[in-house]
Amino acid sequence: MTQNSPFVVAADIGGTHITAAVVNTHDWQVIAESTIRHSVNSHAVAKSILSAWSGPLVGVLGNGPVLARPLVGIAIPGPFDYENGISRMQGQDKYDNLYGMDIRMELAERIGVNGVDIRFINDAAAFLQGEVFAGGHNGYPKVLGLTLGTGLGSAVWERGNNAVDADLWKAPYLDSNREEYLVTRWFVREAAKHGIEVSGLRGLLALRDSHSCIHDILAEYSDHLLHFIQFFSEREASDRLIIGGNIAKAWDIFRAFNPTAFERFDIRISQLGEHASLIGAAAQFA
């Protein structure tokens, strides 16, 4: 691939999956037929995780446009040394076995791409960057991004600059930090207190009609989410937020517990889904 080619191979790595595709940076469109999505066991040994990540990238490189010099942009959760490609994730309920590894080198060897042509970006920053580039949100001076899933992502975009990681997952809150009250494992823990075994929010919602305590769990989550949005908004002096991630699919449920309070903010739910993170990852080469 030459440097003036519009095509970039992009990947979005989450706590349970990887999605890879080719992005056309001329029109910020994901080439749908190039997309490959695989599930990933984030608790597996390093070799298995790296194989799960490299497989879709190899598939996209083989089935997408012919690229003489492929450029690969990867959106990945933190903590991560994005400049040097070193994983710093530990105690995050995912990818502990990659801690300290040179992910750039490991992937370069597996997919046959020069290490210098692989770039990493925080997943929340990539999500927000993609929403701004392709979702029509660049008419605002400052936009905040929030992703809710196996981890808590936060990012800030200001006109004239790229989106940056706000790194608020570890901000102190109650007896721990913000992330521990806003991600999938919070629902798992709260359900377990009532003798309910689920793997996440989807399973919890499926049991709402048979367990009255689930209403209280959802209401409490709504309170934690509102508190974080207030904190984030005041910290950055902006009330424009875009929320994404799997938990955001239940936004209407959470909003209903605190409708008036949430209406104080200009909140949009992502319509681009994974495409936002793919576009943001590719934008590193724009």
Would residue 2 count as lying in a domain? no
Contacts of 229 (CB under 8 A, 6+ apart): 146, 241, 262, 265, 267
Q: Are residues 113 and 152 in the same domain?
A: no
Range name among 3-12, 148-157, 274-283 with the lowest pLDDT average: 3-12
Q: Are residues 199 and 170 in the same domain?
A: yes
SS3 (DSSP) at 222: helix
Number of structural domains (the chain) is 2
pLDDT at 66 over 70: no
What pLDDT band is residue 2 in, cutting at 50, 70 and 90? very low
Tell me the pLDDT of the chain averaged across its residues.
94
State the pLDDT at residue 92. 78
79: cis peptide before it, omega within 30°? yes
Q: Which domain holds residue 234?
A: 139-270
Percent of the chain with pLDDT over 90: 83
Q: What are the angstrom distances between the C-alpha of 52 and each of 57, 144, 222?
A: 9, 31, 34
**What span, in angstroms and rounded, lies between the C-alpha atoms of 57 and 286?**
20
The pLDDT tens digits of the residues spanning 233-259 come to: 999 999 999 999 999 999 999 999 999
Tell me the CATH number at 211: 3.30.420.40
**What span, in angstroms and rounded, lies between the C-alpha atoms of 154 and 146?**
5
Dihedral pair phi/psi, residue 6, rounded to 5°: -80, -10
Query: Hey, what are 130's tokens?
Result: 């993609």
State the pLDDT at residue 278. 97
Q: Are residues 181 and 195 in the same domain?
A: yes
CA 136 to chain centre: 19
Q: Are residues 179 and 237 in the same domain?
A: yes
Percent of the chain with pLDDT over 70: 98
The pLDDT tens digits of the residues spanning 45-57 come to: 999 999 999 999 9
Of 263, 8, 238, 260, which is closest to residue 128 (Cα–Cα)?
Answer: 238
**What span, in angstroms and rounded, lies between the C-alpha atoms of 73 and 280?**
8
Total-model pTM:
0.86
Q: Are residues 187 and 259 in the same domain?
A: yes
The pLDDT tens digits of the residues spanning 102-139 come to: 999 999 999 999 999 999 999 999 999 999 888 878 78
Would residue 184 count as lying in a domain? yes
The pLDDT tens digits of the residues spanning 164-207 come to: 999 999 999 999 999 999 999 999 999 999 999 999 999 999 99
State the pLDDT at residue 153. 92
Would residue 134 count as lying in a domain? no
What pLDDT band is residue 67 in, cutting at 50, 70 and 90? confident
